[in-house]
Chains A and B, each alone.
Chain A
Amino acid sequence: MEVNEDMDTKSESEHQPSKDALIDISFCGSTPLLWKVSDMKRCRSAGVIGALVGSLARQPRQNVRLGRPLELLQEEALLLEETSTAAASLQTQDCGDEEVHLEAVRQYEAGLESSYKEQCALALEDKKTVLRRIMDEKENGTDDSGNAIRDRLNALDQAFRFPLPAMAVQLHTARAGFSHCPEERSFHSTDWPVPRDERLNTRFCVYRDLRHKGFYLTSAGKFGGDFLVYPGDPLRFHAHFIALCISMDEELPLSDILAIARLGSNVKKTVLLCSPRSRSETEKDESVEGDVVYSSLQWSSMV
């Protein structure tokens, strides 16, 4: 199996958690979400893909391409937390201090005011440029219309109106930080909002192992499995495997195996049955990396 170049960058970022700020994972219920583009970029360079679930800013009324937030799998979030790349941010409380809050409101309104003034000036400049360009074009033609435009240009400084509703405002996607209350972060895995049951542990072991081997993984619910395994970035490559995570002692009925083998052959992907093999003694630390055993299913013809 190929080792991606991304492995190198990942090991680098692993050793500098104190230099860069940590990635912010905000939880909506039990679902981890990422909001900032810089966080998403860093995630992707660590091999964590996630799935976009919000409306795209440029064209909100379509479902072909979605926008922020980026929803992470539980396993992805756990991996980021384990490698100290990210931390969960707790729900922000309302700012209790009234004075601080009023100051924040004042600052916000002052910001709007200055933005308006700047945009006024910009609009005026823009209009002047347009008029000058028309004037230049008209210079080549008759003179009369040119004069009219010159008069307009000169009167522009007084006559120009940029109404307040014409101002452009930004609708922030990620938290804008207007209110000055500091964000609380949790650094302990015990504060993780999602309980770690056996199923999550199995999946996480498989996820971490495949990620270390350089594969990119996304969710595979529609394919009847746990993960879709890509040899490279999902933006450019098709998935090769459907990974199904089963614990070593779990019994799987033959009909289930047949069903998923059929499904895999229909979508031209190989089905992988993955089971983490835990080291015999250690039971206290669930995240000990044991080996993961992989078996692939293939129809064999006996003709």
Chain B
Amino acid sequence: MADRDTSTDAHKHSVFEELLSPSELFEARSRSHKIPVRGQKDFLPNGSEQQRARLQQSLDEHWTLLAEERVERLGNLVKAVWIPDERLVELQSPAGKFWQTMGFSERGKQYLRPEEALYLMECGNVQVFYRDLPLSIQEGYERFLSHETVTLHQYQVFGHLKRLGYVVNRFDPSSVPSTYERQLNLPASSWDKQRKQLKRKRSQSPVSSDKQNPSPVEKTTTEDQSEELVNASESPAGQTAPDPSLEESMQSADASDRTWWMEEDVQPPSAQSQSAAPRWDFSSISFPDLGSRRSRSVSLESPDPSLLPGALEVGGCDLSPWLRRLNVKQEKLSQRDRERQRERDRYHRDINSDREVRHCRNWAEYLQLVEDRRRRSQKDKPVHLWENEVTPLTQPGQCNSHRELLDQISIIKSSSLPEGVSSLSASDQWTISFDVYQPDTVAEFKKSQPGKPYTHMCVCSFDGPVPDLHALKQLSYQSGDVPVTFAVVDHGDISFYCFKDFKLPTDSY
């Protein structure tokens, strides 16, 4: 190893020879900013002088471009400091134009995430200091990129997208609203801000998703309907199994509501009305049909006081305000629509016009009727087909359309991507790294309200495994209704892939 005497400037010049002298720095103001265009390539080397000369010229151009160091006016540089404990870069002079899409404020100070700071260092906008000495880009790569912050591959994807103009943020799983929440389209409430706060402090760990709240069920018959809706929206819609405490409160609340729905001729079995019973007998409860044109009831009677808990006084319910909210107008169809409907209904048999079906008072009776009919019709079926263990999937005349037929004979049910996701375990290998927003939205981009991202980026490499169905399901679930793009890094080259859900057509129209 060469003897390292680091005390003289001259030696520094030879060892770290990329130091520019002040005159060089001064001359750098008038540098060209154009990149030379590369010419056509040749097919075979033939040892000719012309080829050698061209190669040398290309190489010289190449080295000139690479050797050029970044020289900036001190006034244009934003000064910043690297804080290793927090793994953040704190700005010490006012931020420039980049503040519109990058960085965040906290406790009165402005911060940049390590990948953003490194990118800005490469662009020549920010000069980051550590212990009063400026960091070179090499030191930036070594210090800022790690498994806890952002890996080299992820940074390469980040840089690539930023150079194209996209706005790229780190992905935070808890900030993905579920489809239900998006449907409700709530304005940013204080709850949202609280979530963003958590997002800043621990940007990689998800917020705990089992937020308990008092009223889990939307009730349409109580006065404070709007309040209930807001409370219900706070609980993440992705919960599959309510825990016991929620279920109990649901039952006690519904015990009183149930009585609203009883029609006068059907008395509830007194056993179920006591709140101690954990299970209801749905077969004995009939729900009023307010929407169908056949129902004539305009009001519901007051329930039997013996069914109500405690000393509750409940009067009759007037249904007319509710009926008014329902649109029970006859649909007026155009001539073409009416024709189309006639075509569709040509072979349509209304199940309710069947007298026997009308006699059924609940589902159990109806299913019984269907079963009886089936057994009756079985008598004229060929024995050798239907009495063995293996029976045909469908009968002639049973189906009216291709789709029904295909449904009947499809033993392998087709599934869609979101199915069965809740039972999947989280995978460490496949995680979404970034939110990406489109470049043309930069003008109106607001860091506090970024809106729905254009896509979510998942970074992987050609050396690693191809994403399997488990990973795809889990990632698309985690991503909500935003598409997921895979950025595959191959030694500096980045390719983008995405998977699209596709439904095979099942019917012909």
Contact = CB atoms under 8 A, between A and B. Distances in A.
Contact of A237 (B12, B25, B41): B41
Nearest to B6: A180
Contact of B58 (A53, A64, A123, A236): A236
A284 interface: no
Interface string A89-123: 00110100000010011001000001100110011
A123 B4 CA distance: 36
Interface in B16-47: 16-20, 22-23, 25-26, 28-29, 31-33, 35, 38, 41-45
Interface residues of A, number: 82
B266 interface: no
B21 to A, nearest CB: 8
Given A169-B77, A178-B133, A53 B156 contact: yes
A173 B69 contact: yes
A63 B160 contact: yes
Interface string B203-221: 0000000000000000000
Contacts of B1: 21-22, 185
B184 interface: no
Contacts of B17: 38
A266 B122 CA distance: 37
B19 A165 contact: no
Given A91-B142, A176-B19, A63 B163 contact: yes
A168 B71 CA distance: 6
Interface in B350-390: none
A181 B147 CA distance: 26
A177 B55 contact: no
Contact of B133 (A37, A105, A237): A105
A186 B139 CA distance: 18
B124 interface: yes
A77 interface: no
Contacts of A169: 25, 71-74, 77, 127
Contacts of A168: 25-26, 28-29, 71-74
A67, A118, A218, A232: residue with the most chain B Cβ atoms closer than 10 Å: A232
Contacts of B146: 29
A8 to B, nearest CB: 14
B68 interface: yes
A219 interface: yes
Given A101-B131, A169-B77, A172-B69, A54 B51 contact: no
Given A59-B33, A166-B75, A236-B51, A175 B133 contact: no
Contacts of A175: 16, 136, 138-139
Secondary structure at the B interface, as helix, strand, loop or mixed, is mixed
A164 interface: yes
Contact of A174 (B18, B124, B151, B490): B18
B23 A238 contact: no
Given A52-B66, A104-B133, A122 B18 contact: no
Interface string A154-183: 000000000111111111111111111010
A243 interface: no
Contact of A172 (B33, B68, B136): B136
B69 A171 contact: yes
B67 interface: yes
A182 to B, nearest CB: 6
A73 interface: yes
A55 B55 contact: no
Interface in A209-230: 218-219, 221-222
Contact of B122 (A54, A115, A118): A54
A220 B239 CA distance: 45
Interface in A238-253: 238
A47 B123 CA distance: 30
Interface stretch (B253-261, B294-302, B394-402, B491-499): B491-499
B67 A37 contact: yes
Given A119-B26, A173-B70, A28 B133 contact: no
A128 to B, nearest CB: 14
Contacts of B127: 169, 171
A56 interface: yes
B2 interface: yes
B493 A222 contact: yes
Contacts of A219: 490-493
A254 to B, nearest CB: 20
B35 A59 contact: yes
A235 B58 CA distance: 7
A121 B201 CA distance: 49
A105 B73 contact: no
A55 to B, nearest CB: 4
A164 B79 CA distance: 14
Contact of B41 (A29, A94, A176, A236): A236
Interface string A182-224: 1001000000000000000000000000000000001101100
A126 B12 CA distance: 29
A108 B131 CA distance: 12
B350 to A, nearest CB: 54
B22, B43, B145: residue with the most chain A Cβ atoms closer than 10 Å: B22
A52 B65 CA distance: 12
Nearest to A36: B18
Nearest to A2: B45
A37 B66 contact: yes
A68 B119 CA distance: 13
Given A174-B16, A236-B55, A238-B41, A55 B142 contact: no
B44 A71 contact: no
A288 interface: no
A166 B26 CA distance: 10
Contacts of A108: 132-134
Contacts of A58: 31-33, 35, 65, 68
Interface string A54-86: 111111111111111101010000000000000
Contact of A28 (B41, B51, B142): B142
A237 B44 contact: yes
A297 interface: no
B502 interface: no
Interface in B303-346: none
A38 B26 CA distance: 24
Q: Which 3 A-B pairs have the closest CB atoms?
A: A165-B75, A221-B490, A51-B492
8 contacts: A29-B152, A41-B63, A58-B68, A73-B491, A170-B19, A185-B1, A221-B488, A237-B41
Given A105-B132, A173-B18, 9 more contacts: A55-B163, A61-B123, A65-B65, A91-B142, A168-B26, A173-B138, A176-B16, A219-B491, A231-B44
